[in-house]
Amino acid sequence: PALRWGYVFSGCCRGNSVERKIYIPLNKTAPCVRLLNATHQIGCQSSISGDTGVIHVVEKEDDLKWVLADGPHPPYMILLDGNLFNRRVMLQLKGTSRVSGLAVAVAKPSPPQGFSPGLKCPNDGFGVYSKDYGPQFAHCNKTVWNPVGSGLSYEDFDFPIFLLEDANETQVIKQCYQDHNVPREGSVPEYPLCAMQLFSHMHAVTSTVTCMRRSSLQSTFSINPEIVCDPLLDYNVWSTLQPINSSGKVDPEKEVIIVATRIDSHSFFWNIAPGAESAVSSFVTHLAAAEAVHKASDIHSLQRNIMFTFFQGETFDYIGSSRMVYDMEKDKFPLRLDNIHSFVELNQVALRNDSVLWMHTDPVSRMNESVEVQVRNLLDILSNSSVGANVTLQEAGYSQPLPPSSFQRFLRARHIPGVVLTDHKTAFQNRYYQSMYDTPENIRMQYPEGLSPEETLEYVTDTAKSLAEVATVVARALYRLAGGANNTSAIQADPKTVSRMLYGFLIKMNNSWFQSIIKPDIKGILGDVPQHYVAVSSPVNTTYLVQYVLANLTGTVVNLTKEECLNPEKTPSSEKEMYEYAWVQGSLDPNSTSRVPYCVRSTVHLSKALSPAFELRQWASTEYSTWTESRWKEIRARIFLVASKELEIITLVVGIAILIFSLLATYFINAKADVLFSIPRDPGAVAY
């Protein structure tokens, strides 16, 4: 078996280096990394030189006994079946020194009982409810929104945990285990054994306060500062129905309706955040509604403006929304809080039962009579807009608090009439909230077999039709709220556009439509599998794509040259302060391989989504998000055959002995060099 495995190594790792002949690298993995807030560190890390252990495959709970008690070769690296990746098992492994790390295989199909490593009460303490405002609703006392939540993502593990994304690599590990590590006929497996090494050493420790202080000191006193952590940050995307001066201030008398949603998600593993139901379903519906509203013929004469807002970092204690509220309060944003007429938020809308969409409002602010009147008007307009549509809107109930939502951050600042639309009345319908299983399958996206990528992009799924109906209702309601009086039958969301967006944001970003609507210089953002983690380098792919999709759906193609489009301030009629201009790639010319680029004018803007805590250097803040991500040097995983300790010691001793012998031999040879290497005298030579 050892010889056969040697051939596998040679075949898998072509090249002459010794390392490549010893190790098999695992290239398709995702690590658990360390995140920090004002008081805690969460996540995982390895030692500075990586952690190593003998592989043991755990496919049922009984297999843990070998790892935790019986196995003679600790520490172990566990290959864990995805169905066992739960809080109960993980806390068992956390409490032992016999485990050096974990590789988790994705469960297929997704665990039927659900899996959410998030909290039962998401963003607890950073919403509107507290001991001073609706204390009966604080800490999810009234409603536990995410009952499946295990809180696993918020635990701190002192060993590395990696996700195996490739089934073929998982099979290679299992085969190595079968060949070398499985006990034969009741006997203990003999060396060499199959082992795994995981590298994910994190530089930051303890909390955001500690790591930011260290980074700050390094930046102040060191020529080459070593930053140990970075704040989670990105950009919010926003646009308005009627153009406004983005560098000025909106007239205090002008009322604006904010429609909002989040565009980020999260899971236990770094940059694995499909977020199909938790984020994508709502922001795709939002984008479709924005396009539909723009179809109305009288949008420029409406009494109120509409602002379409997409918040980043909401998973981590409302980073994006809290920053926008902060900017509005500090006059660093074109709008002020006084301009907000009402607030409509889309929040998980794909898993509706009997086509029912629930309208959540804040019972505390509704005790104010004027707010109650406005909220009642808002609810009536939404309900009336669903007449004739395949969507039924119902009130969640006066005594029901708001679910976790961006709207809560605005309510913290002032009483604003608002509603949050969801597919759940109480607990989430989503059993995979903030997990790697919140995939297209979770929102029932299905395609016929045998379709090409282009056909799949254009195929209208039932999910797309369903979300388009929601978008239509929302768009018609927004039009009415803005003061529109015309017939709303022309305001209709396009299921084909929704299909394209779902495909692009959930299945394959690198598709022909996305290629055609982005700038040539950022085409590198189009990776294959979309992920929606906020990260620390910005803007992330999702932000860019939401920006350009929104510009494509709501903007106008203008007849400008590339030079004029890239430098609109040189064109007198461009109204640069009112519009953004983008020179996009365009579609492929049918008769050639080149593209037909064009200029798009839109009201789409970006605004910073960095928690005010970092602007204010209040790293211990309880008012604002303080999440940071640790830096690291390398993330990698590999497997190899490991010899017994005895053989390693013998090899080391023999090696040292040979080294000492070589040094002694070299010394004596050098000392007697004149004797050993002298040239013998020629006996026939005569000396004079």
Mean pLDDT to the nearest integer, 286-310: 96
The C-alpha R_g of the chain, in whole angstroms, comes to: 31
Mean pLDDT over residues 579-587, rounded? 95
pLDDT digits 0-9 by tens, 256-266: 999 999 999 99
Q: What's the rounded mean pLDDT across residues 556-579?
A: 90
Q: Is the peptide bond before 75 cis (omega within 30 degrees of 0)?
A: yes
16 and 142 Cβ atoms separated by less than 8 Å: no
Structural tokens at position 456: 């799949």
pLDDT value of position 75: 96
Higher model confidence: residue 246 or residue 55?
55
Q: Please give the share of the chain, as a percent, with pLDDT higher than 90.
A: 83
Q: For tokens 């139901």, name the residue.
A: 277
Rounded percentage of the chain residues whose pLDDT exceeds 70: 96
Residue 685 pLDDT more than 70? no
Comparing CA positions, the residue from 286, 312, 310, 274 lying closest to residue 434 is 274
Phi and psi, residue 272, nearest 5°: -110, 95
Tokens 């950022």 belong to residue: 522
State both tokens at 307: 């602002």
pLDDT tens-digit map of 501-512: 999 999 999 999
Q: Which DSSP category does 82 fall into?
A: G
Strands (E), 202-273: 229-231, 233-240, 256-262
How far apart (Å, rounded) are the C-alpha atoms in residues 102 and 155?
A: 15
What number is the average pLDDT over the span 585-609? Answer: 92
- Reference 456, options 447, 443, 444; nearest CA is 447
Pick the closest to residue 405 from 38, 126, 137 (CA basis).
126
Q: What sign for the dihedral angle of Cα 261, 267, 273, 276? A: negative
Distances (CA, A) of 275 to 127, 427, 609, 657: 21, 17, 19, 59
* 334 upstream amide cis, omega within 30 of 0: no
Residue 12 has pLDDT above 60, yes or no: no
Is residue 677 scored above 90 in pLDDT? no
What is the per-residue pLDDT for 4? Answer: 37
Q: How are the residues of the chain apportioned to helix, strand and coil, as percentages rounded to the nearest 5?
A: 35, 20, 45
All structural domains of the chain, each given as residue ranges with its CATH number in brackets, are 17-115+150-202+635-645 (3.50.30), 233-555+603-610 (3.40.630)
In this structure, the number of other CB atoms found within 10 A of the CB of residue 49 comes to 9
What pLDDT score was predicted for residue 16?
55
- Mean pLDDT along residues 269-276: 96
- Token couple for 97: 């020194």
More confident call, 224 vs 407: 407
Does residue 650 have a pLDDT over 70? yes
Place of tokens 């607890």: 124
Q: How many CB atoms lie within 10 A of CB 587?
A: 15
E runs forming strands in 347-456? 356-360, 392-395, 418-422
Which pLDDT score is estimated for 454?
95
CA distances from 93 to 34, 47, 80, 87, 102 (A): 18, 17, 11, 10, 9
Closest to 103 measured CA to CA, from 149, 66, 59, 155: 59
Q: How many C-alpha atoms does 12 have within 13 Å on its Cβ side?
A: 22
Q: Specify the range with the lowest mean pLDDT, choosing from 107-111, 338-342, 668-672.
A: 668-672
Do 242 and 339 meet the contact criterion of CB atoms below 8 Å apart? no
pTM above 0.75, yes or no: yes
User: Where does the pLDDT of residue 10 fall: very low under 50, low under 70, confident under 90, or very high at 90 and above?
Assistant: very low
Give the strand pairing for 340-346 and 256-262.
parallel
How far is it, in rounded angstroms, from Cα 346 to Cα 344? Answer: 7
The mean pLDDT value for 32-60 works out to 97
How many other C-beta atoms are found inside a 10 Å radius of the C-beta of residue 680? 5
Does residue 437 have a pLDDT over 90?
A: yes
Please tell me the predicted confidence (pLDDT) of residue 186: 73
Q: Which amino acid is at 308?
A: F
Query: What tokens does 581 get?
Result: 């201009």
Q: Which residue has the higher pLDDT, 662 or 221?
A: 662
The rounded mean pLDDT for the chain is 93
Rounded to an integer, the average pLDDT of 224-253 is: 94
Determine the average pLDDT of the residues in 294-321. 96
Residues 6+ positions from 673 with CB-CB distance below 8 Å:
none
Nearest 5 degrees, angle CA 452-CA 457-CA 463? 120
Residue 113 has pLDDT above 50, yes or no: yes
Report in angstroms the alpha-carbon separations of 453 from 214, 507, 525: 48, 10, 19
Is 562 a residue whose pLDDT tops 80?
yes
Closest CA to 311 of 351, 274, 259, 249: 259
Could you tell me the pLDDT band of residue 639, with boundaries at 50, 70 and 90? very high
Cα–Cα distance between 40 and 98 in angstroms, integer? 25
Dist CA 335 CA 309 (whole Å): 12
Q: pLDDT per residue over 440-475, tens digit each? A: 999 999 999 999 999 999 999 999 999 999 999 999
In tens, the pLDDT along 152-208 reads 999 999 999 999 999 999 999 999 999 999 988 778 888 899 999 999 999 999 999
Tokens of 52: 């190593």
End-to-end CA gap in the chain: 75
